[in-house]
A = this chain, B = another copy of it.
Amino acid sequence: MKARESTMKFSIQRDVFVQSVQDVAKAISPRTTIQILSGIKIVADQDGITLTGSDSDLSIEAFIPKEKDGDELVSIQEEGSIVLQARFFSDMIKKLPENTVELAVNDQFIAQVTSGGSVFNLNGIDPSEYPRLPDIEEENIFRVPKNLLKSMIRQTAFAVSTVETRPILTGIHWNLEDGLLTCTATDSHRLAMRHAQVTDNENDVTFSNVVIPGKTLNELNKVLEDSDELIDIVVTGSQILFKSEHLLLYSRLLEGNYPATKNMIPTESKTAVKLEVKKLLDAIERALLLSREGKNNVVHVKNVEDGNLEITSVTPEVGKVTEQVSTLSYEGDELRISFNGKNMIDALKVVEATEIVINFTGAMSPFVLKPVDRDHMLHLFSPVRTY
């Protein structure tokens, strides 16, 4: 008698299994109301084990081959598939007593996970109910090193909007033109922009107005190891696919037109100030210490003698902070401006430089922060009106 499709049996190395389960679980929303999407789909076929997690917008697929570098990772006794609750699964596997785990599924969708003296009987779900992943033609691939992609995500994704009033701003705008990939995020009060040359673009892929959900890129950043290996990226009209050796991440793109951010960025400068990142960061962090409850996080900056800056913050019930910050150089007009210090801290934490230059064009105009020596990154801030 032929086994039903859902019946399967394999044994697998615990640590390899844990890693892949944790990777695909990142796509699963703990608050999903669709029962099948609260589970991880596990498929055993002749090549190895494929795991999938999804929240329907974002899907992550991990493949565990039967062998790696001559080491047997998986031994498959019977091919098949099952969907198991993600919630307890990675914790459970992590705590199993032996290095080898056996998973067997009966025709009632009950999975038995065995390791040493431990036996877990888990209620599974019929895998035929699991949604299909998007079908993406892998024609127009471009490639960047994983560690570069991670940097670009880290340096822009923090600036997306977290409110849903303009959903398009919850995503990061990607533009690829002449082999230059430009990533931009803004919540309309601050903007982060980073660009880099694409390493491998043999089909000369070009696109604009591709907006990737912030969540997608944050989860991608978590599952991607920090290496200089290349990752394949494919963009279609409504989807993006990131493809690493044993990991696929599919995401829906956001619909709508992203604002034209280029015109927002001032090109002239009335005051240019060079500063050490650490000094400025520490001073703003101290200035904001008392305003944690004030919520507006406003700091006031003005120039004082010797081209240095004075940063102040007042929280009436608690007190006032005054910080003197020495500058590396100060050129141009007098300065007196107020802005959200928390936004600047966010930028200073990802700037990956020891020295930055800030160009101001007046108390009521947005101003630009860049690393001193390089032009690959830009942070824009709106001032706050305080009178």
Interface residues of A (CB under 8 A from B): 85, 88, 91-92, 95-97, 110, 117-123, 282-283, 285-286, 289-290, 292, 317-326
User: CB distance A118 to B286 under 8 Å?
Assistant: yes
User: CB distance B92 to A289 under 8 Å?
Assistant: yes
Given A92-B289, A292-B88, A324-B117, A319 contacting B122 (CB threshold 8 A): yes
Neighbouring B residues of A317 by C-beta, 8 Å: 123
Cβ-neighbour of A286 out of B96, B285, B319 (below 8 A): B96
Given A97-B282, A282-B97, A118 contacting B322 (CB threshold 8 A): yes
Shortest distance from the beta carbon of A218 to any chain B beta carbon, whole Å: 26
Shortest distance from the beta carbon of A237 to any chain B beta carbon, whole Å: 40
Of chain B, the residue at the smallest CB distance from A95 is B286
Neighbouring B residues of A117 by C-beta, 8 Å: 283, 323-326
Known: A119-B321, A120-B290, A122-B319. 15 other contacts (CB 8 A): A88-B289, A88-B290, A88-B318, A92-B286, A95-B289, A97-B282, A97-B286, A117-B326, A118-B286, A118-B321, A118-B324, A119-B322, A120-B319, A120-B320, A123-B317
Neighbouring B residues of A325 by C-beta, 8 Å: 117
Neighbouring B residues of A92 by C-beta, 8 Å: 286, 289-290
Q: How far is the CA of A100 from the CA of B198 in the complex (A)?
A: 50
Of chain B, the residue at the smallest CB distance from A110 is B319
Q: How far is the CA of A96 from the CA of B283 in the complex (A)?
A: 9
Shortest distance from the beta carbon of A63 to any chain B beta carbon, whole Å: 26
- List of 5 A-B pairs having minimum Cβ-Cβ separation, nearest first: A117-B324, A122-B319, A119-B322, A121-B320, A121-B319
Count of identical protomers in the assembly = 2
Q: How far is the CA of A88 from the CA of B315 in the complex (A)?
A: 12
Neighbouring B residues of A323 by C-beta, 8 Å: 117-119
Q: How far is the CA of A283 from the CA of B119 in the complex (A)?
A: 11
Shortest distance from the beta carbon of A114 to any chain B beta carbon, whole Å: 9
Neighbouring B residues of A120 by C-beta, 8 Å: 286, 290, 319-322
Sampled A-B contacts (16; CB under 8 Å): A88-B290, A91-B289, A92-B290, A95-B282, A95-B285, A117-B283, A118-B283, A118-B286, A118-B322, A118-B323, A119-B322, A120-B286, A120-B319, A121-B321, A122-B318, A123-B319
Neighbouring B residues of A95 by C-beta, 8 Å: 282, 285-286, 289
Most buried by B among A88, A117, A325: A117
Neighbouring B residues of A318 by C-beta, 8 Å: 85, 88, 122-123
Shortest distance from the beta carbon of A364 to any chain B beta carbon, whole Å: 28
Neighbouring B residues of A321 by C-beta, 8 Å: 118-121
Neighbouring B residues of A319 by C-beta, 8 Å: 110, 120-123
Neighbouring B residues of A119 by C-beta, 8 Å: 321-323
Shortest distance from the beta carbon of A282 to any chain B beta carbon, whole Å: 7
Q: How far is the CA of A96 from the CA of B96 in the complex (A)?
A: 47
Q: How far is the CA of A323 from the CA of B283 in the complex (A)?
A: 56
Of chain B, the residue at the smallest CB distance from A285 is B95
Neighbouring B residues of A290 by C-beta, 8 Å: 88, 92, 120, 122
Neighbouring B residues of A320 by C-beta, 8 Å: 120-121
